[in-house]
Amino acid sequence: MTLKKRDKLIFDGYPRSLSQAQYLDLLLNKSNQKIDHIFFLNVNKDTIIERVEKRKTLENRSDDNTDTILKRYDTYMETTRPVLDFYSKNPNFHEINGTKEIDQITKEIEAFIKV
């Protein structure tokens, strides 16, 4: 079975600030476009630290250290968290438990997008 996807675009990690989200919203409105789905993979701080430290071991990334992880998390809470608040009002907003296994998360997302 071949799935044809036309006129589809996925943003991963964008927008990262409230001003970017508001600007994207403005552009979409001007071009009569809409966001079909917004997914928030909710993962707690301890799980994030654990996963990044594991990734460091597997991939030997120099930027995967506790200080960097904590700075990224603080940046997220300060800058990116308001984006989540902005989009959580959208009826197409879906919060997913990001602590589950990847295949479980994938199935949840697929259920929303009906792949």
Does residue 62 form part of some domain?
yes
* pTM value surpassing 0.85: no
Q: Indicate whether 92 belongs to any domain.
A: yes
Q: How many domains does the chain have?
A: 1
Strands (E), the chain: 38-42, 93-97
Q: Cα separation of 84 and 89, whole Å?
A: 9
Q: Within a 10 A sphere around the Cβ of 21, how many other Cβ atoms?
A: 19
pLDDT by position in tens, the chain (length 115): 444 455 677 888 899 999 999 999 999 999 998 899 999 999 988 998 888 888 888 888 888 888 888 898 898 888 888 999 999 999 999 999 999 998 999 999 999 988 5
Whether 20 is covered by a domain: the verdict is: no
**Cα separation, 79 vs 102, whole angstroms:** 26
**Domain extent at residue 108:** 41-113
| 80, part of any domain | yes
Asked whether residue 88 is domain-assigned, the answer is: yes
